[in-house]
Amino acid sequence: MKNVEEHILAGISRQRGESNNPVFLDKIQAEWNKLKPKLRNFSDVYPTKEIMADSDEIENLKDKFVSRGETAIVGEAVIMEGIYQSEWIAEGIEVLPTSEYDDIKNGIDFVLRLNDNEQSLYLGVDVTTSTDYSVISAKRGSILDFLRKGELGHLKYFEDQATDIKGIIELPKIAIVLNPDAAVKMQDLMLKIKEHKELSQAEESELNKVKESVESEVVDQLQKIIKNIEMLAKQSKYKKDKYIDFQNKYQEILNRIKKEALS
């Protein structure tokens, strides 16, 4: 009998972190991959030599990157699809996959864009399907480490055609945990939703559990980060204004998510 890990990985390719469900790979995962910004399209922002150096660096890092866990890459596609198609967090949130460079180098798998009439707010998301608490803690700890230094997350190869932003962007960041078993189970449900097929009562229940978990993860983490930034602002004499600005950014995102969730 297969153990739990073998059962989960039966649905994932160990080499590329791709789904072994060919329909999910073709209709969902591959479609999100197509939306990832390509470094070659940033020749109007960076010198060709710099882009080539970044491309070479990422090629050399790919093997280490995939070894982080085969379910993680499928988990990214599941969460992006869930947020976009099933409104797992709230209505009116756009999902922007990041470039391979920023995914690997800067630890941001995709960006959430929250719009209103005046401005767009961006939130970077790092997905993990690890069940190892030390891995989860390290990811969240790295976010706080950046904040302690007076830094937010950043992307180098970011593009949002809706707002004409292209190149470097600084943005708040969170890490979302998705149970690896749920990452595999959700593949079939995401396909049924995309194909407008009716879900059974049991499937609806499974979907709602994951939806509520992701929504709770996002809100809870934003609240904890805001509290931490507030403490940092009180302790710092030199970065107080910057911390207050960070706190305002995270708070505005949290308020917008709560507002959208109620609409």
pLDDT digit string (tens) for 103-160?
999 999 999 999 866 788 999 999 988 888 888 898 899 999 999 999 999 999 999 9
pLDDT of 238 higher than 90: no
Q: What is the pTM of this model?
A: 0.88
Burial class for 37, CB neighbours closer than 10 Å (0-12, 13-18, 19+): buried
What is the percent of the chain with per-residue pLDDT over 90, rounded to a whole number? 56
pLDDT digit string (tens) for 209-232?
999 999 999 999 999 999 999 999
- Lowest average pLDDT, out of 10-14, 98-102, 181-185, goes to 10-14
**DSSP bridge pairs for 177:** 128
- The string over 147-178, giving b where at least 16 C-beta atoms fall within 10 Å of a residue's C-beta and e elsewhere, is beeeebbbbbbbbbeeeeebeebebbbbbbbb
What is the percent of the chain with per-residue pLDDT over 70, rounded to a whole number? 88
> Please, which residues have CB within 8 angstroms of residue 49's CB and are 6 or more apart in sequence?
none
Token pair of 161, please?
A: 């055609």
Measured distance CA(43)–CA(238) in Å, rounded? 38
* Residue 55: other Cβ atoms inside 10 A: 15
pLDDT tier at 94, thresholds 50, 70, 90:
very high
Average pLDDT score, the chain:
86
